[in-house]
Structure 1
Amino acid sequence: MNISLRTAAVSLSALLLSACAGTQEMTRTHVPAAEPQAKAVLTSDQAYIAYVERVARRRGIHVMWVNPPQKRLVATE
């Protein structure tokens, strides 16, 4: 009897929670007609690379960059 009550209580609470999750109103946002966006250019972050390599050299560690850090620059036209 005790197991049946627990199962029923868990099932009922799961059913009620799923019903509450489905009642939210879907909102739609419209993107305003925007100006032409500037394109971002990815370049290596040379300052950060130099800093990491300098610290690694002091500690006697060899650094091999597999994916060097990059920073976004906004291209001006």
Structure 2
Amino acid sequence: MKAIPGIAVVSLLLIGLAGCTSAGMKSAYVAPAAVNGDAATETRMRPDAQYIAEVEWIARQRGVRVHWVNPPERRVLIASH
């Protein structure tokens, strides 16, 4: 009778390990695109002016003052020649 819980635990562990090994070898890595030496792009963070304006407009309508501690930012691509 004492062997049945032990066998159940070992069986569950083996099933779990079998599930992990059948997950495959796929990776989430995506290779970067080929870079042209003449034109390079760079990303920078800029304040999201449109979102800030919308929030402040709604706040004014409701009589609330907004003070941005961490203003929302948007990633912007900058092409350098």
Q: TM-score, normalised by structure 2?
A: 0.66
Q: How far, CA to CA, are the matches of 1:30 and 1:58 in structure 2?
A: 45
- Pairing 1:1-77 to 2, within 5 Å after superposition: 1=1, 5-27=4-26, 31=31, 34-36=34-36, 37-77=40-80
Q: How far, CA to CA, are the matches of 2:30 and 2:72 in structure 1?
A: 34
Q: How far, CA to CA, are the matches of 2:61 and 2:20 in structure 1?
A: 55
Q: TM-score, normalised by structure 1?
A: 0.68
Which amino acid in 1 is paired with 2:20?
A: A
Q: How far, CA to CA, are the matches of 1:59 and 1:30 in structure 2?
A: 46
Return the structure number with greater strand share: 2
Show structure 1 runs of 4+ deviating over 6 A.
none
Gaps of 5+ in 1: none
Q: How far, CA to CA, are the matches of 2:13 and 2:51 in structure 1?
A: 50
Gaps of 5+ in 2: none
Compared with structure 1, are the counterparts of its residues 5 and 19 closer, same or farther at alpha carbon in structure 2 (3 Å cutoff)?
Answer: same
Q: How far, CA to CA, are the matches of 1:47 and 1:53 in structure 2?
A: 10
- 1:30 Cα offset (Å): 7.9
How high is the sequence identity, in percent, across the aligned residues? 34
Aligned length, in residue pairs: 76
With 6-15 and 52-61 compared, the bigger mean Cα shift is at: 6-15
